[in-house]
Amino acid sequence: MTSKLTLHGVSKRYGPVTALHPTDLEVREGEFVTLLGPSGSGKSTLLKIIAGMELPTEGRIIINGRDATEMPVRERDLGMVFQNYALMPHLTVFDNVAFPLKIRKTATEEIRRKVHDALKTVQLEHLKDRKPQALSGGQQQRVSIARAIVYNPSLVLMDEPLGALDKKLREQLQFEIKELHDRLGITILYVTHDQQEAMSMSDRVALMNGGRIEQIGTPRQLYFTPETAFAADFLGSSNFIDATVTARTSERTVCRLSSGEEIAAPSREGFSEGQKVRLMVRPEHISLLGQAVSADRNVLKGVTTGTTFFGESAEIRARLAAGSEIAIRIPNDYSLPEAEPGAPLHLEWDVRQTHVFA
Amino acid sequence: MQTMHALETNTTIGKAHRGRIPIMIRTLGFGTFLLPLTVFMLLVFCVPLLGVARASFYTNGTWTLSAYREFVSGALFHRALINTLSIGFMTGLISVICGYFVAYHLSRMPQRKRRLYIILVMLPFWTSILVKSFAFTVLLGTNGIINQALQAISGTNVVVPMIFNRAGVIIGMAHWLIPFSVLPILSSLLSQDKALRDAAEVMGATGMQVFWKVTFPLSLPGVLASGLMASVIGMGSFVTPSLLGGRQDLMMANLVDFYVREALDWRMASAIAVVLILLALLILSTAAFVRTRLSR
Amino acid sequence: MNTLHQSAKATSRLGRPISASVLIAWLVYLFLIVPSLIVVPMSFGTSNELVFPPQQWGLDLYAKALDPAQGWLSAGGRSFVLGLIATGLALMMGVPAAYGLSRTNFFGQKALSFMLLSPIFAPTIVVALALYLYFATLHINGSMLGLVMGHAVIITPFLVVTTLSGLKHLDRNIENAAMVMGATQLQVFFRVVLPAIKGPVLSGSLFAFLLSFDEVIVSWFIARSDQPTLPVKMYSSIQWEVSPVLAAISTFLVFITVIVSLVSAFAQPENTDGF
Ligand SMILES: Nc1ncnc2c1ncn2[C@@H]1O[C@H](COP(=O)(O)OP(=O)(O)OP(=O)(O)O)[C@@H](O)[C@H]1O
Ligand SMILES: [Mg+2]
């Protein structure tokens, strides 16, 4: 597969502020890549540099095989969907979608056909004569999407396109964008700070933190094998437990908690005996059986401190013998005899679902 | 915060003021604040205006349309009316065009710098019209600075007539109305979402295309409204045509003056004033209509 | 460094037509500012003819302007007093009215505010004629009272507009908080609202004063010809013969305008684009 976008060591500084550390990134043809990260992590900065609205302090940008580092915005052959739609208020829906085609001096008949097709794709043909102000937020964003794909740009950038919509509409549009991507084979670089959105839509997620890409991979990779505590914490929920490495083989690393209990985890590079570490296990990977002692399971003792019901699941909070608080998520078809505050608990989970971080 | 503190500690104020005004406030509410100016404007603005309308119909104890009949048939009035309209619209147009360049320039600079430049633009606006008229006589006159410079450059005795004619009136009036049209255009340019221009550029538009397809159409309602506004204000002007214009550039305001001072005919002066104010109302309501219509 | 790089890039990206527009903008600035500036050097000339640049420099024109026999001084004094009283009257009526307008929403309010602000849009000559006819019946033409009322009609709407724009930035919850703490409406106005908008009101009244000080048309109709205001005296002077002493008077007026503009610029809050 060919590469639609390649970044080589792109960085951005505003005076003393480093908004983006040198960053490499590749987006392949037809891929859906998401930049995910908390506020201020540099997502918009990266997107603006790619779009050409900001110049990088260092590094090179290759779009569709051409060096675009110094290229004017208009020559980069990009599509863009903005958070606040950025539809021209003086133009009708039709003319908004026709805008990029008119700029390209496309023949009238072809404009009519392409706009029609694009509006049909987002199911808005019937509103083509309205002004954008007369549309709902979701409809406006669909127009904006139609406008970004009507001229087949190499790469479509989307900066928090669903940020201004309510939850229900957001979920529906997530689905529609994903479906559009799969059907038309367009290449999308998407920005969001909503981890659920990133996971459900993307082929790959680039997790950003403090102006750099912390980890990049498929949603499954990020979820099941987070490389840093930040990645583990940002994607999904997580429990952290302080421990010290006591033994290490090529397969297993064994750590001791302050209570003396031992936890095993799959070995990773870069840890040595005696090192202080943080162990992580996701609340939904813990179960409460605690009877079946096997070499593949970790077991801990705790005391219930509280329970919260979420409908489809429940969360039980427990205090470990080692002192720290831990959360357990379990499906709610369960009866929970031990869930009274103060009741002792036996927590148990798969060794492979234990992660060790420095 | 300080004021809050003062409120809590200083309760004597309320007692000292207890009297007629608080009672008024209790019955009229915020209307009390509006009352003095409303009464003043009714008595010293509205009643006098109605007096003008009355004076245009009522002379020597009889009601008559004679003034308006004279207006409709008199060549002098036709000329003044045409002058008023053409000079008004011409200066409105010139002011808006010049004002647009300035407003565009202002809209693309950082805010601190812009504040400084706005003072620069508004300074001539607040300068007495007499100072400017005087300066233009000195600048544009037959022996004026510009003609002297032209003669020095060309080595001939050319004299470009720029004063006591239509050009003089329009130059003088544009000078006054350009700052007037800069502010509304500037505020309409500043209220535009930068994302729209970014979007256009991403879609492949050049700088010129961004301007003509996005920036300009979006600013059009503001431009039209402020152009019409400037025209109306120009049409009412009196000092500039009187000091910088020639005899043939007489505007309706000058005619009002003439009928009051020279002809001592209040009836005719009032009729002209009524026509002038109706004209202003007509254009202003057009402007309001255009603004709501286009910005929808 | 980086921003330099960027702005160079931006202009080259936008191409030549934009820089042509900057050039035109500068020509317009020049056109706007030159007439106000040209009078300054001229006022320091000595000759009786208006030539630029002056052949000789001196303060003769100022001496002439200040000569009581010429009448400029008394006209200036008259305009000054008139401006002060008219501005005071405008403040007393305009600021409360602006507050009333901004805090109410009643039937006919649009019409009322149109009425209160209409002297801004009405051709001044019509207002002048109207006042002239009206004051003739009241026999106050030519009096200071007539001039003060006439000027108040012209400048108060302007003060209302500037006060309104100041009030727009004021958080209404501050007033509500004061009310909850037991303040009366009058106390809220004097102790909460007025202190909060004193910047815009100050700059508005400075400009209102300037407006009155420079007002020609109403005064031209109402003032007695042997007791002219400064602008009326200037107007008749330019009409008959353009005397060099006008350069000195003009410089003085430009100076006042600059002072008023600067003071009001400092009185305005930082983050506004007002004038
Ligand atoms: N023009 C600028 N000048 C100085 N610093 C800036 C500028 N633009 C962005 N920054 C800084 O760069 C960092 C990254 O900003 P960026 O807008 O890329 O964050 P983001 O990930 O998009 O956040 P959000 O989710 O809030 O949109 C921030 O710390 C921000 O303060
Ligand atoms: Mg952002």
| Contact residues, chain A, for B200 at CB < 8 Å | 88, 99, 103
CB contact under 8 A, B204 and A103: yes
Residue B61 belongs to a domain:
no
What pLDDT digit, counting tens, does each position of C72-88 carry?
999 999 999 999 999 99
Residues contacting C12, CB < 8 A, separation 6+: none
Name chain A contacts of B206, Cβ cutoff 8 Å. 74
A142 lines ligand 1 (CB under 6 A): no
Q: pLDDT (tens digit, 9 = 90+) per residue, A81-119?
A: 998 999 999 999 999 999 999 999 999 999 999 999 999
Does A103 contact B at CB distance below 8 Å? yes
**Chain A to chain C Cβ contacts (< 8 Å):** 11
Tell whether ligand 1 has an atom less than 6 A from the beta carbon of residue A37: yes
Q: For residue A182, what are its two tokens?
A: 């799969």
In whole angstroms, give the CA distance from residue A50 to residue A55. Answer: 9
- Which atom of ligand 1 is nearest the CA belonging to A38? 25
Whether A210 is in the pocket of ligand 1, judged by its Cβ within 6 Å, is: no
Domain extent listing, chain C: 2-62, 70-267
DSSP, res A197: H
d(CA C127, CA A69): 63
Q: Decide: helix, strand or coil at residue C57.
A: strand
Nearest to A82 among B195, B206, B214 (CB): B195
Which residue CA neighbors atom 14 of ligand 1 most closely? Answer: A42
Name the stretches of chain A with pLDDT < 70: 1, 290-293, 333-339
Q: Is residue B108 part of a domain?
A: yes
Residue of B193, B202, B206, B294 to mutate, testing the A interface (most A Cβ within 10 Å of its Cβ): B202
At position B1, the amino acid (one-letter code) is M
In terms of CA atoms, which chain A residue is nearest residue C12? A72
CATH, residue B141 = 1.10.3720.10
Could A73 and C6 be called an inter-chain contact, meaning their C-beta atoms sit closer than 8 Å?
A: no
Q: What CATH fold (topology level) applies to the domain A3-232?
A: Rossmann fold (3.40.50)
Using 70 as the pLDDT threshold, list the residues of chain B that sit under it.
Answer: 1-29, 294-296
Residue to substitute from B28, B57, B114, B134, interface C, most C β-carbons within 10 A: B134
Residue C12 token pair? 């080259």
Residues of A in contact with C6 (CB under 8 A): 54-55
Query: How near does any CA of chain C get to the CA of A55, in Å?
Result: 7
For residue C273, pLDDT over 70 is answered with no
Q: Do B33 and C96 touch (CB under 8 A)?
A: yes
Tell if the CB–CB gap between B137 and C52 is shorter than 8 Å.
no
CB contact under 8 A, B273 and C126: yes
Say yes or no: do domains A3-232 and A237-357 share a fold.
no
Inter-chain touch B218–A90, beta carbons under 8 Å? yes
CB A42 near ligand 1, within 6 Å = yes
Quote the pLDDT of residue A261. 87
Q: Which ligand 1 atom is at minimum distance from the Cα of A12?
A: 12
Pocket test for ligand 1, best of A43, A82, A194 (most atoms within 8 A of CB): A43
| Structural domain harbouring B262 | 68-295
Put simply, the answer to whether A55 touches C9 (Cβ < 8 Å) is: yes
Q: Which residues pair with A25 in a beta bridge?
A: A7
pLDDT at B67: 86
The answer to whether B50 and B273 are in contact (CB under 8 A) is no
Looking at residue A332, the DSSP 8-state letter turns out to be T
Neighbouring residues of the ion ligand 2, judged by CB less than 5 Å: A 44
> Could you give the CA distance from residue A176 to residue A145 in angstroms, rounded to a whole number?
10
What is the H or E stretch that residue B241 is in? helix B239-244
Give the total number of structural domains in chain B: 1
The alpha helices in chain A, defined as continuous H runs, are 43-51, 93-103, 108-121, 137-149, 167-184, 195-201, 219-224, 229-234
**H or E element that contains B244:** helix B239-244
In the predicted model, what is the mean pLDDT of residues C164-179?
84
Name the CATH superfamily housing domain C70-267.
Answer: MetI-like (1.10.3720.10)
How far CA A164 is from CA of A130, A137, A171, A233, A299, in Å, comes to 21, 8, 12, 25, 44
Domain ranges of chain A: 3-232, 237-357
Q: Is C139 on the interface with A (CB under 8 A)?
A: no
Q: Between B90 and C264, where is the model more confident?
A: B90
Q: Is A82 on the interface with B (CB under 8 A)?
A: yes
Question: Which residue among A55, A72, A73 places its CB closest to the CB of C6?
Answer: A55
**Tokens at A2, concatenated:** 């060919």
Is B192 part of any domain?
Answer: yes
Tens of pLDDT, residues A269-328: 888 888 899 999 999 999 887 566 677 888 888 888 988 888 778 888 999 888 889 999
The answer to whether residue B6 sits within a structural domain is no
B55 found inside a domain? no
Chain B: residue whose CA lies nearest to A87: B196
Any domain includes B97: yes
What is the pTM (predicted TM-score) of this model? 0.83
CA atoms within 13 A on the CB side of A72: 18
Q: What is the C-alpha to C-alpha distance for residues A9 and B286, in angstroms, rounded to an integer?
A: 58
Give the DSSP letter of residue C45: B
Q: What's the full length of chain B, in residues?
A: 296
What per-residue confidence (pLDDT) applies to A163?
87
Share of chain C above pLDDT 90, in %: 52
pLDDT at residue A345, as a whole number:
84
Domain formed by A237-357, architecture: Beta Barrel (2.40)
Using the mean position of ligand 1's atoms as its centre, give its distance from the Cα of residue B148 in Å. Answer: 58
Residues of B (165-194) whose Cβ lies below 8 Å from A: 193
Q: Pick from B195, B205, B213: which is nearest to A86 by CB? A: B195
Helices (H), chain C: 2-14, 16-43, 60-66, 72-102, 109-117, 124-138, 144-168, 172-180, 185-187, 194-196, 198-213, 217-222, 230-240, 245-267
- What's the pLDDT score for residue B138? 87
CB contact under 8 A, B217 and A90: yes
At residue C269, does pLDDT exceed 70? no
Sheet (strand A155-159) strand order? A78-81, A155-159, A188-192, A32-36, A204-209, A212-217
